[in-house]
Amino acid sequence: MRAQSVTEILNVASVEIAMKPVLVLRHVPFEEIGSLADYLAAAGLAVDQVDCFGPDWPNLVQAGFDPEQLAGLIVMGGPMNVDQTDEYPFLATEREWLRAAVAAGLPTLGVCLGAQMLARSLGAVVRPNPVKEIGWYEVEQLEAAADDPLFAGCQRYETVFQWHGDTFDLPPGGVHLVRGSTCHHQAFRLGPAAWGLQFHLEITAAMIADWLAEPEMCCEIDPLDYIDPAEIRRRTPDGLAAMAPVTRRVFGRFAALCYERASATR
């Protein structure tokens, strides 16, 4: 079934109905959902954002994860590695939830670390990429993207924002959608409704400014002589403009899938 666009959704007589929420999991305070929030709001979706490092996390774990009570699941990025479960125990819990979400066909989106977590949850290896990708990069849509529910209609080459040092193998059954020249696995789909994106379509100019000023992220850049923060800032206006069409398609369609899920199960 074709996913409705956000425009089609907003033409429905009323979207002000009681709906199951989209659950957003954050790993660090500076990893916001950025522009993705606008697409979820435009679709009339409620959003429950929980910080895995915050006081609400134990209550969420105690309540348990039930995909049938959600419209979607979004797992954001972070500087940790997926296998640092001793230092960050919430990562092990998230793996279980991601497996359950995929099995239930829940619309699921993993961004950066979230994509690595999605791959790892289904048995794939996550390891350091040969180089860290930080800044604006060109990626290539593969043949499988042509009829993908999120990526269909995107240009063959798109400009996206990156900030990562790790990469992942495709999990069993994963469909490779987007590749890059310095990091092969950039986006994939699992089952009918779960996607992992290594890049940051949600990024905004304000977020980039904050990340480039964040002490932890500055420490990551400082040893890398091939990364120039000034060049990233210079390219940001044009980069955001170039990325806007793919952001609209991917996030608009994902929000529509969440809306359909909530509407079908409310």
DSSP 248: H
Tokens read off for 216 = 């932890």
Q: If you average pLDDT over residues 89-104, what whole number do you get? A: 96
How many alpha carbons fall within 13 Å on the CB side of residue 107?
29
Does residue 196 have a pLDDT over 80?
yes
pLDDT band at 18 (very low <50, low <70, confident <90, very high): low
Q: Which residues are catalytic?
A: 112, 200, 202
User: Count of CB atoms within 10 A of residue 55's CB?
Assistant: 7
Over residues 121-148, the pLDDT tens digits come to: 999 999 999 999 999 999 999 999 999 9
pLDDT band at 2 (very low <50, low <70, confident <90, very high): very low
pLDDT at 22: 97
pLDDT band at 19 (very low <50, low <70, confident <90, very high): confident
Does residue 16 have a pLDDT over 60?
no
Report the share of the chain in percent with pLDDT over 70. Answer: 92
Q: Single out the residue of 98, 153, 106 nearest to residue 254, CA to CA.
A: 106
Average pLDDT, the chain: 91
DSSP 27: S
pLDDT at 68: 94
Q: If you average pLDDT over residues 54-73, what whole number do you get? A: 92
Does residue 223 have a pLDDT over 60?
yes
Q: Would you identify the CATH topology of the domain 6-265?
A: Rossmann fold (3.40.50)
The domains of the chain are located at 6-265
Residue carrying structure tokens 């999990």: 171
Q: If you average pLDDT over residues 168-175, what whole number do you get? A: 95
Using alpha carbons only, what angle is made at residue 165 by residues 58 and 252, rounded to the nearest 5 degrees? Answer: 65
pLDDT at 216: 85
Strand order across the 108-111 sheet: 47-51, 22-26, 72-75, 108-111, 194-197, 187-190, 175-180, 126-141, 157-168
pLDDT at 90: 94
Does residue 9 have a pLDDT over 90?
no
